[in-house]
């Protein structure tokens, strides 16, 4: 059976209203369906939508994990799932989108999860019957049974991926819009593109940033490392960690000094096949769920959830060497600002055009127990407006975590793959150019600008910086960073540090 490849121009009926199912409070599949509806129809951020749904539900932890897996799994494979399912439906566009989403959830379970097929099919059919009647339930049952018999035909990237594979085949195998496949092949070549496509199809390890402002953060790190066999602890660069990479780990566990830890270890909650990655000095990444000790650190304000690849990129530019004062001009929720503050590096100003996102910064500052350096001046305005407000004020370092296409974070934010289009790239590069020019005016002589993105597009990364350097004679590139394409962190960042000369050229 020949099926066409998914493309970025594929239309979705986004005019339908997001669902709010009463069963979502107790049924993880119904909760996943509600979240998927919000993401598809209301353009909600997947992580925020999941957090909202789980907070409002009465789901037990195992069901919360199932809901999360279903949402991210369906979104990562959405284009392939939809294309496959439609080949078993006579008039798929005539069906309610809620029904189509329920079918995709069932199909994903049958393909990727260790759930009995009858349970997956039974849930979807019952849901369709309750919502749309017996006739539609019959359609759902017939289609799902046919899919079940044909699972071997589903485009599986583990099969027949060859260097000579066509763009269309790669698009089908990896559920990636054709324009992204073409962009990566043209920019990075076949081998790197295969690594990036595979990374985007799988979940990234859960990142945890330890709060270095707490005096005992190194002991907390030891306790987490102690949960893993030494062979399961690796550097983010795929290498096995050596003794010089890790603090001394006491063996065996001192149960008298840490009875909670001893009790946890007795539960064997960390699976033998789970791996712990060391991204930088104070950032860990977990291939499985966060262990109990890590979750306790979050509650105690001794750690924060953050992309390990993001922390790795920031650490590559040695923030402890940055000149003061510092302006984080695209701060978002303030993750990088807080990272600097935890290391005792003062940030004078943190600005972002989203007041809602920036509102979390003072709250996080308090949760982490920070008192010094003081919380920066928060400015919920765009870079253009901030530049006007800061007229005449100069900074030793300006951090530009630029708005970008986000193609380096498709594993964590899978909805980007069908929200972005190739036409968006030019608009984004123009926005980045304006931000760089405005920020550069506030870098004092001898200071520097650190530019970061979370995308895989040379026009937003290397070419953007090359263009800036060509137009500014007083700018010198003193360092650049690109996440290795084989990184197990499965997220990819680019960065550059530019220094302003003491004298105009």
pLDDT digits over 278-304, tens only? 998 999 999 988 888 999 999 999 999
pLDDT tens digits for 55-95? Answer: 988 999 899 999 999 999 999 999 999 999 999 999 998 99
pLDDT of residue 26: 84
Q: Are 490 and 436 in contact (CB under 8 A)?
A: no
> Exposed e or buried b for every residue in 193-214, given b needs 16+ CB within 10 A?
bbbbbbbbbebbbbbbbbbbbb
Cα–Cα distances (Å) from 457 to 7, 264, 461, in that order, read 18, 44, 6
What pLDDT, on a 0 to 100 scale, did the predictor assign at position 16? Answer: 56
CATH fold, domain 22-153, is N-utilizing Substance Protein B Homolog; Chain A (1.10.940)
Q: What is the mean pLDDT of residues 204-216?
A: 95
The secondary structure of residue 376, as a DSSP letter, is P
* N- to C-terminal Cα separation, the chain: 64
Strand 475-482 to 494-500 pairing: antiparallel
What confidence tier does 211 reach under pLDDT thresholds 50, 70, 90? Answer: very high
Q: What pLDDT does residue 1 have?
A: 41
Q: Which tens digit of pLDDT belongs to each residue from 464-483?
A: 999 999 999 999 999 999 99
Task: Look up the CATH number of domain 311-500.
Answer: 3.40.50.150
10 Å Cβ neighbour count for 393? 14
- Per-residue pLDDT at 25: 74
For the chain, the structural domain boundaries read: 22-153, 167-200, 206-305, 311-500
Query: Is residue 244 over pLDDT 70?
Result: no
The pLDDT of residue 343 is above 80: yes
pTM greater than 0.85 (yes/no): yes
- pLDDT value, residue 17: 56
Pairing, β 475-482 against β 283-286: unpaired
Scanning 413-461, the segments in alpha helix (DSSP H) are 422-440
């Amino acid at each position: 059976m020949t099926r066409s490849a998914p493309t970025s121009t594929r239309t979705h009926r986004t005019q339908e209203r997001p669902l709010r199912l009463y069963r979502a409070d107790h049924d993880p599949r119904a909760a996943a369906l509600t979240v998927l509806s919000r993401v598809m129809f209301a353009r909600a951020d997947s992580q925020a939508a999941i957090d909202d749904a789980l907070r409002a539900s009465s789901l037990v932890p195992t069901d919360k994990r199932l809901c999360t897996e279903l949402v991210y799994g369906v979104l990562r494979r959405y284009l392939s799932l939809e294309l496959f399912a439609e080949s078993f439906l006579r008039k798929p566009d005539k069906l309610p989108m809620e029904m189509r989403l329920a079918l995709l959830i069932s199909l994903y379970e049958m393909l990727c999860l260790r759930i009995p097929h009858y349970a997956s099919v039974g849930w979807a059919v019952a849901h369709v019957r309750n919502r749309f009647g017996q006739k539609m339930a019959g359609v759902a049952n017939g289609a799902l049974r046919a899919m079940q018999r044909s699972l071997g035909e589903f485009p599986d990237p583990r099969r027949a991926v060859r260097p000579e594979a066509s763009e269309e085949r790669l698009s089908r195998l990896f559920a990636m819009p054709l324009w992204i496949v073409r962009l990566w092949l043209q920019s990075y070549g076949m081998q790197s593109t295969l690594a990036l496509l595979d990374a985007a199809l799988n979940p990234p390890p859960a990142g945890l940033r330890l709060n270095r402002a707490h005096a005992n953060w190194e002991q907390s790190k030891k306790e987490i490392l102690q949960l893993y066999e030494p062979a399961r602890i690796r550097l983010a660069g795929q290498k096995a960690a050596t003794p010089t990479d890790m603090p001394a780990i006491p063996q065996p566990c001192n149960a008298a000094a840490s009875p909670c830890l001893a009790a946890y270890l007795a539960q064997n909650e960390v699976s033998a096949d789970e791996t712990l990655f060391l991204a930088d000095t104070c950032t860990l990444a977990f291939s499985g769920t966060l262990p109990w000790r890590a979750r306790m650190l979050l509650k105690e304000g001794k750690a924060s959830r953050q992309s390990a690849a993001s922390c790795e990129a920031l650490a590559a530019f040695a923030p402890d060497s940055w000149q003061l004062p510092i302006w984080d001009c695209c701060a978002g929720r303030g993750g990088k600002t807080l990272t600097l503050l935890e290391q005792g590096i003062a940030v004078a100003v943190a600005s972002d055009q989203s007041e809602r996102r920036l509102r979390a910064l003072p709250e996080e500052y308090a949760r982490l127990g920070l008192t010094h350096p003081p919380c920066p001046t928060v400015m919920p305005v765009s870079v253009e407006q901030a530049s006007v407000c800061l007229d005449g004020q100069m900074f030793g370092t300006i951090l530009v975590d630029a708005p970008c296409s986000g193609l380096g974070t498709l594993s964590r934010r899978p909805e980007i793959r069908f929200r972005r289009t190739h036409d968006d790239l030019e608009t984004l590069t123009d926005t980045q150019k304006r931000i760089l020019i405005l920020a550069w005016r506030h870098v004092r002589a001898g200071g520097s600008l650190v530019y970061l993105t979370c995308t895989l597009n040379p026009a937003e990364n290397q070419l953007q910086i090359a263009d800036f350097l060509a137009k500014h004679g007083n700018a010198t590139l003193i360092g650049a960073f690109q996440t290795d394409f084989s990184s197990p962190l499965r997220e990819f960042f680019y960065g550059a540090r530019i220094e302003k000369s003491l004298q105009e050229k």
